[in-house]
């Protein structure tokens, strides 16, 4: 039977029904196609262009070398940090981004003299002492210029400190808590840092409350190269800071062994100063969106560093890698639906004043903060993306991983946690948070030490991190609909 014969023989009502069914099927197919498009969210070919452009560029390496080699350490309040602010702002202006500086008052703590020696210990030969290697913790109080001499109380944890509370007044407390390298080797370096780091974060204030004259903390880090690791410590509102320092792992172990044999006395000279607060700035650079420019996807890192090294991995690679996202999009003349906002945070290391100032200003239009990315996990090999999002939102992110497969960075991991100190306030307000998933097995070998220098950064790893950040930022800014937000406070 021909089509014409079939048409003639078919009742009009039946033909109309078939025609309606065909229209329905066509509409359903179109909806399915649209659903597939919505599920993939963004043109994969566009993401591939972004990835490949990032992998062919040395913009990030050149600017990281400038930041670390010609400016150097960038502790809050230092002229080096303020020069870094100016140079990063200039670099973003040269890319054609809309740049502004957000003024922030920051603490200005400066390191002074720092020496230590064992002056009395079991088995000591007459007239001999032993020099120790240490560095003051950020926020440490000072000894008298001539130093202090006192017996050492070794505590392996807070419970032991409480058991020995009667020995603490007037003594130097040493927290001897090891960094769990086995945990770090298993991919849980952050957990290892948190476990050992609590003795640096609150150990000095806890010991001071019991009457200690000074506190030493076994350096929080993996490799034992007799490198002291600095970092901030926290004091209670009603406390006067006492001298507090990080002791190298080797010297902490030495004191622990000697103290097991008898009384150990130490002489400390620590003369840091807390100066009047200084002026600083967050650098904010917007790459405007083509459809919803008022909606913002943040990509960020912190510009300040500790004063011992040049902050190449903490957080030079992170902040310059984030800045390079704008460089990639500028080279492609590519604008997403929403504005991509780069932020170079000030004062992450010893106060987080930059992120607090930004959040205070953003609260009135928090709904315009669509997503926040922070890169502050070193310069190791890229593995993928970490997302603090709802379970439903995670499924909407699968499309971006296809572009990351050639980088070996296609892991997509969901966590219910703050993914960076600077975006934590935004996350607490419900904003979805993101971070690069980086191999951190050796990150804490050099973290907060004099060895955090440019040679620790692999240029290929840096390009890969830029590529992943650029793909992620564009993907989030290009989504047809915003990701679900968390309830405030979660």
Q: How long a stretch of residues is the chain?
A: 490
CA distance linking residue 305 with residue 313, whole number of Å: 9
Rounded CA gap, 280 and 344, in Å? 12
Question: Residue 208 corresponds to which tokens in the numbers above?
Answer: 């001071």
Residue with tokens 């002074």: 112
Residue spans of beta strands (DSSP E) within 138-213? 148-155, 172-175
Cβ neighbors of 407 (< 8 A, separation 6 or more) are 51, 55, 382, 464, 467, 468
Query: What is the rounded CA–CA span in Å between residue 324 and residue 301?
Result: 11
DSSP 456: G
**Active-site residue, 348 included:** yes
Q: What is the DSSP letter of 417?
A: S
- Quick check: helix, strand or coil at residue 324? helix
Residue 95 backbone dihedrals phi, psi, to 5 degrees: -80, -10
Which one of the listed residues 114, 348, 349, 374 is annotated catalytic? 348
Please state whether beta strands 292-302 and 338-345 pair in parallel, antiparallel, or not at all (unpaired): parallel
H or E element in which residue 291 lies: none
Q: What residues are annotated to the active site?
A: 348
């Amino acid at each position: 039977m021909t089509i014409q014969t079939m048409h003639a023989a078919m009742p009009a009502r039946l033909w109309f029904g078939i025609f309606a069914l065909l229209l329905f099927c066509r509409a359903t197919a179109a909806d399915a196609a649209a659903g597939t498009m919505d599920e993939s969210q963004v043109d994969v070919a566009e993401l591939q262009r972004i990835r490949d452009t990032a992998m062919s560029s040395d913009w990030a390496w050149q600017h990281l070398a400038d930041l670390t080699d010609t400016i150097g350490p960038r502790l809050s309040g230092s002229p080096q940090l303020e020069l870094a602010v100016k140079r990063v702002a200039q670099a973003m202006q040269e890319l054609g981004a809309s740049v502004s500086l957000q003024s922030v008052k920051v603490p200005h703590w400066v390191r002074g003299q720092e020496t230590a020696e064992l002056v009395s210990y079991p088995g000591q030969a007459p007239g001999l002492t032993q020099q120790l290697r240490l560095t003051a913790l950020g926020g440490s109080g000072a000894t008298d210029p001539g130093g202090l001499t006192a017996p050492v109380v070794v505590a392996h944890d807070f419970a032991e400190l409480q058991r020995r509370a009667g020995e603490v007044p007037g003594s130097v407390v040493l927290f001897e808590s090891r960094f769990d390298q086995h945990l770090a080797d298993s991919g849980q370096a952050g957990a290892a840092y948190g476990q050992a780091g609590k003795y640096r974060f609150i150990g000095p204030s806890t010991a001071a409350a019991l009457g200690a004259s000074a506190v030493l903390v076994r350096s929080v880090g993996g490799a034992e190269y007799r490198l002291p690791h600095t970092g901030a410590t926290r004091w209670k509102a009603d406390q006067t800071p006492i001298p507090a320092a990080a002791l190298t792992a080797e010297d902490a172990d030495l004191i622990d062994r000697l103290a097991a044999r008898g009384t150990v006395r130490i002489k400390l000279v620590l003369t840091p100063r807390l100066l009047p607060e200084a002026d600083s700035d967050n650098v904010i650079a917007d790459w405007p969106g083509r459809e919803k420019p008022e909606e913002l996807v943040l990509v960020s890192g912190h510009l300040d560093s500790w004063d011992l090294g040049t902050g190449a991995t903490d957080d030079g690679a992170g902040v310059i890698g984030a800045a390079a996202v704008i460089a990639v999009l500028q080279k492609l003349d590519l604008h997403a639906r929403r504005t991509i906002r780069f932020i170079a945070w000030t004062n992450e290391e010893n106060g987080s004043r930059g992120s607090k100032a930004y959040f205070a200003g953003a609260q009135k239009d928090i709904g315009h903060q669509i997503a926040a990315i922070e890169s502050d996990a070193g310069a190791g090999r890229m593995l993928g993306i970490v997302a603090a999002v709802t379970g439903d939102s995670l499924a909407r992110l699968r499309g971006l991983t296809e572009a990351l497969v050639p980088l070996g960075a296609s892991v997509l991991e969901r966590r219910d946690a703050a993914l960076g100190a600077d975006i934590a306030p935004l996350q607490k307000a419900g904003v979805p948070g993101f971070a690069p998933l980086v191999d951190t097995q050796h990150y804490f070998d050099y973290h907060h030490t004099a060895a955090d220098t440019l040679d620790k950064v692999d240029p290929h790893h840096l390009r890969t991190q830029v590529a992943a950040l650029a793909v992620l930022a564009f993907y989030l800014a290009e989504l047809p609909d915003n990701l679900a937000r968390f309830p405030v406070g979660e």
